[in-house]
Every structure is written in structure tokens, then in C-alpha cells.
Amino acid sequence: MKSRCIEIAVLAKYIEGRLSDKDRDRIEEHLSECDTCLEEFVIANTLLKDHDLIECEPVSEEVALSALKSLSIPKELKKFYAWITKVLVPDSAGQPAFATVRKPDAASSMDYISIKKDMNDLQAEMYIEKTQDNKVGIRVRVLKDNISARNVRLTLIRQGGGIVSRLLKGDYVLFEDLPFGSYRFVVEQDALEKGEYLFEINEAGLNEE
């Protein structure tokens, strides 16, 4: 796990509502982008609001912070992404456009998941579309400093067999007709691995592993 970005004491103050508006906005923006800190926040928030702990004898702030720092992140707290449905609807000019809804009321629709992952100095953007016969298509962009990265290779390795590897040419790479299952997604630049992402995709959505 990477090093902590937010001090435990600051995270505790955020949960207790003791930060200024500016600092609160800064923390919330960071939590929206950093999986590690978000997981720590989930655990800390659960502990601090657990009513079963109210009757426990209080300890010093130093002891409490030390205990919180020693917590490991259980696997079951990894993120789950449910499918979101896009339906084709006309915009104000009468042209077709996509609108995001949870319950489609139009015949033309698609289920998708969109996620972003930081990998060293790169950012991978994945747009996963569910297709028929328990399969998906995955479109991947890789950015560096908000522009398309160069000399990048993207590899998808499916548990149980199957490897697809492609060079990033243009704005994105498209992986088509991928069956549901567990995958390891690897990003390399200049033949050096920049990061990986483990996930399982099924009818319900996507689970991080």
C-alpha cells in the first residue's frame, strides 16, 4: 500500500466536522481521487460511529491514533462499481445524445462503468460497456499531464487463460468481446511497468480485487 497522504489526526477532524470549509473541500477532493485514503476514511468513520463502542472506556488521543494507524484494510472494503445505464435521448436541438439514468425508459440503451486509476505518473481511464452474451468491451485512455501518453502498452490478462496486449496508438485502445471474469490490467511505458489494476467483472458490475 502506498504511503498515507492525509494525516490520521486531520482525517479524524474531518469526520468530526472540525475542519474549515476550505480544508474540508480539499480533503473531499482528495478522497474522490485517492483509493488508499478513501479506504482509511471508511474504516475510521465506521469505528468512530460504531454505537457498540460508545460504552468503552476512552483512551488518550495518542493511543487512539496509534491504533488507527495499525489497522489493515480488509479485502471486502475494496470498491464495487454497479452498472449505470445510458439511454439515447434527443437533446434540445433534436439531435441524439446520451443521458445517464438508473432505470432506462427507452429501447436504445447500454450499461457501462467508467473509472480512473493513477499509475505512477500516468492516469488510466477505463470505459467498460456491457455487451450481449456476458461479454464486455473496454476502452482505455492513458494520460500524462492531461495529454495522451506515448510509448504505452496495455495488457489484459484473464484468470484461467487469455492475454490481450496492445500498443496505445492515438487517443485510446479498444478491447472487444471480453468474457466476464477476473482480470489483471497492466500499463507499461517504455517497457517499464507503471502499474496494475486487478478486477472482477460480472452481471452485477465490477469488483476491485
Grid cell, residue 198, equals 486487478
For residue 178, pLDDT over 80 is answered with yes
Res 72: pLDDT: 47
Burial of 14 per CB tally in 10 Å (0-12, 13-18, 19+): buried
**Given a cut of 90, is residue 11 above it in pLDDT?**
no
What is this structure's pTM? Answer: 0.56
> What per-residue string of b and e applies to 126-137 under the rule 16 or more CB within 10 Å gives b?
bebbbeeeeebb
Residue 8 in this model has a pLDDT that exceeds 60: yes
What integer pLDDT is reported at residue 162 of this predicted model? 87
In this prediction, residue 75 carries a pLDDT of 46
Over pLDDT 90: what percentage of the chain? 38
Q: For the segment 14-64, what is each residue's pLDDT rounded down to a tens digit?
A: 777 788 888 888 887 887 777 777 777 776 766 655 544 444 555 555 655
- Tell me the CA distances in angstroms from 181 to 33, 110, 126, 131, 153, one per residue in order: 26, 20, 16, 14, 22
- In the structure, what pLDDT confidence band is assigned to residue 199 with cuts at 50, 70 and 90? very high
- For the chain, domains (ranges, CATH) are 8-77 (no CATH), 80-208 (2.60.40)
pLDDT at 100: 41
pLDDT for 190 equals 93
- Res. 65: pLDDT tops 80: no
What is the percentage of the chain residues whose pLDDT exceeds 70? 69
pLDDT above 50 for 7: yes
In the predicted structure, residue 157 carries a pLDDT above the cut 90: yes
C-beta separation of 135 from 177 below 8 A: yes
